[in-house]
A = this chain, B = another copy of it.
């Protein structure tokens, strides 16, 4: 057993799960979830489901009527729209205003949750960094960054600074965080050297020509630098952090943690 099951192992009793995305070709979840199912002896299979925004409501309605369908992962560009298509949302999905995993209940009801941030925090803890009491800076105010921000707040960081090129978006996220966590010290600006936890929640670093999400020259040892980007595995930010003597966390562990959380939300584990 090498963590794989044979497709010939799919029977009439196998439970089906999906990942909804557009485009679909790049998704890694079928392989990662397949390996998780195999490790845990789960008789399930997760398949790619390519759906565009205009077909999403019809696909959701069809999936409601598939009685052996356990749920799905939702990714770009469906995370926000999905909040309006689910029958109920977890607190995380409500707060963040986005859904990345949906459980289909036996009666066809769809329960959405948002695990991007929780997966990130679990990965941090697995790397030995407890966020509680930390002074964190987060680059970005989009979907992934918002999820990470709420999860860091929930995990009890002492201060959270949101850095974003569009100041209005950063302030909007700060306002939402303040409403949900009144005792959290949160701001849309701040000097980087003060922070002991730096998190990149933007897409900056995916392409070689991207600007850095933080001032790389100001990185110093004692800081922990975490990345949400999975490809490339070693972003310029992570490389600079390593060179400056920081501890780092790559993007992939966040996905791996999430896959297990997703399997649990969908009732597969």
Using a CB–CB cutoff of 8 Å, the interface residues on chain A facing chain B are: 3-14, 16, 21-28, 30-31, 34-35, 37-38, 45-52, 54-56, 58-69
Contacts and interface: CB of A to CB of B under 8 A. Distances in A.
Contact of A47 (B5, B34, B47, B55): B47
Contacts of A31: 7-11
A220 to B, nearest CB: 40
Contacts of A10: 7, 30-31, 34, 45-48
Given A5-B6, A12-B48, 11 more contacts: A4-B7, A7-B10, A7-B30, A10-B31, A12-B30, A14-B47, A22-B67, A24-B67, A48-B68, A51-B65, A52-B65
A244 B58 CA distance: 57
Query: In the complex, which of the residues A7, A16, A22, A45 has the most CB atoms of chain B within 10 Å of its own CB atom?
Result: A7
The count of identical subunits is 2
Given A66-B49, A66-B51, A4 B8 contact: yes
Contacts of A46: 10
Nearest to A16: B47
Contacts of A54: 65
For the complex of A and B, list the 4 residue pairs with the smallest distance between their C-beta atoms, beginning with the closest.
Answer: A62-B62, A55-B65, A4-B6, A7-B34
A70 to B, nearest CB: 11
A25 B12 contact: yes
A240 B53 CA distance: 59
24 contacts: A3-B8, A4-B6, A4-B9, A5-B7, A7-B7, A7-B30, A8-B34, A10-B45, A11-B31, A12-B21, A12-B23, A12-B26, A16-B47, A47-B47, A49-B66, A49-B69, A50-B69, A51-B67, A52-B67, A54-B65, A58-B61, A59-B65, A61-B61, A62-B65
